Amino acid sequence: MLRLVEAAGSLKAFVRKYAQLEVSAAELWPVPARSVTCIEFTFGEPYRIHFLDTAAIETSHQAILIGAKTHNRIRLELRGRVETFAIFFQPTGLQRLLSLPGNLIVD
C-alpha cells in the first residue's frame, strides 16, 4: 500500500510530498538513477542493500538521507514486513533548507 500526501503551503518551497509505503515481500528491487532527494525512515524489517559494483551487502539504517543518483548502483532486498515513511524534497529543497552543498548528497 502506498499513500502520498502533498506538503503544506509554507513547506512547498522545500518539500514535494510525503510517502508512506507498507509492503510484505521477499524480492529484490533495482534502484534506478534519479534526481529526487529524500529522507526515509524504515520501520519493521530493514532493507538489505546489494551493491552492484562489488559483492558488498549492507543492512539499512532506520533513517537514511538519499541523494540524487547518477547511475544504478544498488538493489534493495525486502524481506518480511517493511514500512517506510519518506519526505521527498523539491529540487535543491534540502540543500536550501539545511544550507548543504549539492555535491555532498549525490551518489
> pTM score, two decimals?
0.81
Average pLDDT (1-17) is 93
Q: For residue 77, what is the DSSP state?
A: E
- Classify domain 2-97 at the CATH class level: mainly beta
Give the SS3 label for residue 15.
Answer: strand
Q: Which residues contact 68 (CB under 8 A, 6 or more apart)?
A: 34, 35, 36, 37, 105, 106, 107
The CA distances from residue 97 to 2, 11, 17, 24, in Å, are 26, 10, 15, 34
pLDDT of residue 33: 64
The CA distances from residue 22 to 14, 15, 50, 56, 65, in Å, are 25, 21, 21, 26, 19
pLDDT class for 24, splitting at 50, 70, 90?
confident
* pLDDT > 90? residue 20: yes
- 83, β-bridge pairs: 22, 43
Structural domain spans, the chain: 2-97
pLDDT of residue 3: 95
Report the distance separating Cα 82 and Cα 19, nearest Å: 14
* pLDDT > 70? residue 5: yes
Instruction: Give tens-digit pLDDT for 32-80.
Output: 666 788 999 998 888 888 888 888 999 989 998 888 777 778 888 888 8
